[in-house]
A = this chain, B = another copy of it.
Amino acid sequence: MNLRLVRPEDYYEISRLINDWWGGRKMSDMLPKLFFDHFNDTSYIVEKDEVIIGFLIGFVSQTKPNEAYIHFVGVHPEYRKNQVGKKLYHTFFENVKRRSVKIVRAVTSPVNKTSIAYHTRMGFEVEQGDRTADGVSVFSNYDGLGQDRVLFLKIL
């Protein structure tokens, strides 16, 4: 496995992949090209035999320079027990730590139990929201009406 920084041209391959990896859901709207052009110095790819098997897109908050935000993480379904995610997260943490970041944030949907469990294993805490849904604290309507979200925070 080879881990490297994202390059602008990876956008095309990743756009195609994420629609596959998420079982046909149209995820690529969430990941416009700008992330590959303007935040590629804190975003990573894992390749095996020159095929992308995982990626993490994140950045340092411009408004709050001691915070970083992980926007999107994807791992190839066949490589989900291979520590690909762990490698991506830890490399990101080390990178942003060198940029004086103290807090890393991430957001997920309350229905995404796999993501909630995964973030917990990666050392994230769930932020206290305004209500509890399915045993997890959520921020109601965080991403618009009816779009509750779970907010994660990790102190580096």
- Which A49-107 residues have C-beta < 8 A from chain B? 59-64, 67, 69, 71, 107
Query: When A38-B69, A69-B38, A71-B34 are in contact, do A28 and B63 touch as well, CB less than 8 Å?
Result: no
Return chain B residues, CB-CB under 8 Å to A33: 107, 142-143
Q: How far is the CA of A123 from the CA of B43 in the complex (A)?
A: 32
In contact, B63 and A40 (Cβ under 8 angstroms): yes
Which residues does chain B contribute within 8 Å of A10, judged by CB atoms?
Answer: none
B28 near A29 (CB under 8 angstroms)?
no
Number of interface residues of A (CB under 8 A): 28
Q: Report whether B62 and A32 are in contact in the complex, using a CB–CB cutoff of 8 Å.
A: no
For A12, what are the chain B residues with a Cβ–Cβ distance below 8 Å?
141, 144
Q: Does A15 contact B (CB under 8 A)?
A: yes
Chain B residues near A142 (CB, 8 Å)? 33
Beyond contacts A38-B61, A59-B62: 19 other A-B pairs, Cβ-Cβ < 8 A, are: A12-B141, A12-B144, A15-B144, A29-B29, A29-B30, A32-B143, A33-B107, A33-B143, A34-B69, A34-B71, A38-B59, A38-B62, A38-B67, A38-B69, A39-B62, A40-B63, A41-B62, A60-B62, A62-B62
